[in-house]
A and B are shown apart, each in its own frame.
Chain A
Amino acid sequence: MTKRFGETVAVDRISLDIIGGELLILIGGSGSGKTTTLRMINRLIEPDEGTIAINGIDIRTIDGIVLRKNIGYVIQQIGLFPHMTIRENIGLLPTIEGWSREEIDSRVTELLTLVHLPPDQFMDRYPKELSGGQQQRVGLARALVMNPPLLLMDEPFGALDPLLRRQLQDEFIGIKEDIGKTIVFVTHDINEAFRLGDRIAIMHEGGIVQLGTPRDLILNPADKMVSDLVGSDRLFEHIASLTVSDMMVPASSIISGEMPVQSAIEVMVQSGSTVAVVRDRAASFFVAQLPTLLQRRDEVKTVLEATDPPFFLSMDASLLSALEEMKAASASFGLVMEDGEPAGLLLPDDLISRLV
């Protein structure tokens, strides 16, 4: 879809599939078209070209008002109605839809509890009696009142101080799990994007530069701009989002357990590796280290005798927890297994040089 404002192309032929239940981040600088894209989803802005479909239904066939009542919308300025109490703010749409007072009260109570505001304390207060963080929680509750399957959020935490922003992000991660909605979330804060996003779309000058999971973006940045933005050259900053498979060295060759030590040393020296995977006759796996082999080459005949029992890791384990387990077990490296076969090795020395 494309949107122009006069001569300016705000959004240029972008194409985006949003997966049900995911939190998709639109990130970019000002003027990148992220907010325009968001506002086209609930028809606050109409695209000049292209279509947007929700569950296969073209949104232009749905009345804008009806569409917006079924899509939650949260903005940075919150925009609570100052003349209404919190109860009235959250209950406005239900009131218009003709719910009974009891139904509204129970829904408001439920939502305030969800956003961690004690209902009996907050129901009858006015927005200006609340702090910024509390107001934004009410804003979220108000957006959720009609239980919309889709939620659009435009820099909801942008106006909060960093400490509070972090706290609200943490809470929001929990709320997101509880409500299980599809969320499109606009931000300019890459850390927020990494904390919250299932997938991240990086926008620049009206186009999507790259769309992928946080790990995709970090490990395979499409260009210099993406790599600068996500900090691909400072992988250690993203250690929390990396998995074992991102950082392992692929197991190139597997040495048979009966191979003489001298031949094994030659194979390893040739391939330039200091650690090798060894398979015995029973198809169990072990790990041979070059220094150990060199030290003990006169004592033992076959490689198997000079191997160590490996520390097994799974491919999709988080890197941090894998490192913690290795530390607890005093293992100096890990053997990464996939479907019962060795897939690679996790070598701390190599890891450090790649992270920094």
Chain B
Amino acid sequence: MVSDLLLTPIIQHIVLAYTALLVSIALGIPLAILALYSRNLQTFVMTSANLMQAVPTLAVVAIVVPLIGIGFWPAIVAIILRALLPIIRNTWIGLSSVDPAIIASAEGLGLSEWEIIRYVRLPNAYPAIFAGVKFAAILANSVAILTAMIGSGGLGSLVFEGLAGVNMMKMLSGALPAIGIALFLDASFSWMERRMVPRSGQSELE
């Protein structure tokens, strides 16, 4: 069945991209928060994040193989290496660009560091964080196609097999769902952003 042939790669693709994305969020946001309080960590995180951006995606995928081999988990690592950057950088910018007067008044009120992050910095950083996560999701989606080369399976396999066998139908059956997922991601994140970002919480980033 054609639908079965397509369904498995689509599910593989989504599991791949979303697992990597969720891990990136779970790592990226706490790292960005910690970077607020440690100058060294801040420099390290931002430099390495920027460095990863400079390396071509294909090279990121390739470099993973000699380090941890091929298959599903190496593919996840490759996607995380790509998706972590926009999340960390946007979260850090969002958290650190809060008006100093607002932080000063929060300190003066007697909020603890954690309460300032929880009630002041994070809400003010939501727009930036959402923008970062949205961008990371779209990156994850596209890297998840490339990782088929290192045996992650998913829609990328269809694309590469289609390319290798000059099978246009097969190639499109991989590419079109990937494009559809990308558009869906973009739309759903935009929707969530409108729902969750408070009405007057625009930061300077917008």
Residues on A facing B (Cβ under 8 Å): 42, 44, 65-71, 73, 75, 77-84, 92-93, 96, 126-129, 139, 142-143, 152
CB distance from B157 to the nearest CB of A (A): 45
Q: What 0/1 pattern do residues 110 to 122 of B give for CB contact below 8 A with A? A: 1110010001100
Q: Chain A's nearest CB lies how many Å from the CB of B91? A: 16
B185, chain A: closest CB distance, angstroms = 26
Interface residue total, chain B, C-beta cutoff 8 A? 23
Q: How far, in angstroms, from A215 to B137 measured CA to CA in the complex? A: 69
Q: How long is the Cα–Cα vector from A70 to B108 in the complex, in angstroms?
A: 10
- Nearest residue (CB) in B for A126 is B200
Interface residue B39 (Cβ < 8 Å from any Cβ of A): no
CB-nearest residue of chain A to B201: A83
Contact for A79 among B101, B119, B124, CB less than 8 A: B101
Residues of B with C-beta under 8 A to A152: 108
Interface residues of B in 112-155 (CB under 8 A from A): 112, 115, 119-120, 123-124
In the bound complex, CA of A169 to CA of B96 (Å): 35
> Which of A67, A71, A92, A142 has the most CB atoms of chain B within a 10 A radius of its CB?
A92
Instruction: List A contacts of B115 (CB < 8 A).
Output: 96
Q: Which residues of A contact B105 (CB under 8 A)?
A: 73, 75, 77-80, 139
Look across to chain A and name the residue whose beta carbon is closest to the beta carbon of B115. A96
A143 contacts which of B106, B109, B111 (Cβ < 8 Å)?
B109
Q: Which residues of B contact A68 (CB under 8 A)?
A: 107-110
B54 to chain A, nearest CB (A): 34
Does chain A have a CB within 8 A of B99? yes
Point out the residues of chain B lying under 8 angstroms from A82, CB to CB.
99, 102, 124, 200-202
Residue of A nearest to B112 (CB): A65
Closest to A127 in B: B200
Given A79-B99, A79-B102: A128 and B109 interface contact (C-beta under 8 Å): no
Smallest CB separation, B206 vs chain A (Å): 13
User: How far is it, in angstroms, between the C-alpha of A26 and the C-alpha of B49 when the chains are bound?
Assistant: 48
